[in-house]
Amino acid sequence: MVAGGKGGLQVARKNGIAAVALRAGLVATSLAALAEGGLAQNAALDALIGTNSVEAQPIFAAGRLNACTMVFDAFAKDFTYKQGGYVKINGSFGLWNAKGQLGITLKVVLHDLDPRR
């Protein structure tokens, strides 16, 4: 508590200014931490850009090899639709035996990534 009089009013003003400065400092620190965290997330995702895994998967039917597929998983930046935003790409391609004929498959799945979430 501040005592009355001119001296008390000056102390109250100084305390009010200090409180405002403290609040502004807390807000600035919080915003800086949020921005830094966003940059750290982007750096972590940048490190993942490229092919992350490829796995061969044989497919059997009635005990015989019927197909062989390659399953892939990758991260990329999409500059066409997302202005450099991150996307995850996964899917597969394969060769199949379809009644003695060769069949080819391709599956591509795109997932939008939002590093803020």
pLDDT one-digit tens code per residue, 39-96: 556 777 788 888 889 999 999 988 888 899 999 999 898 888 888 888 899 999 999 9
Beta strands across the sheet bearing 50-61: 50-61, 64-78, 85-98, 101-113
Reported pTM: 0.56
Q: Which residues pair with 58 in a beta bridge?
A: 68
Where are the strands (E) in 1-117, listed by range?
50-61, 64-78, 85-98, 101-113
Q: Which residues pair with 72 in a beta bridge?
A: 54, 91
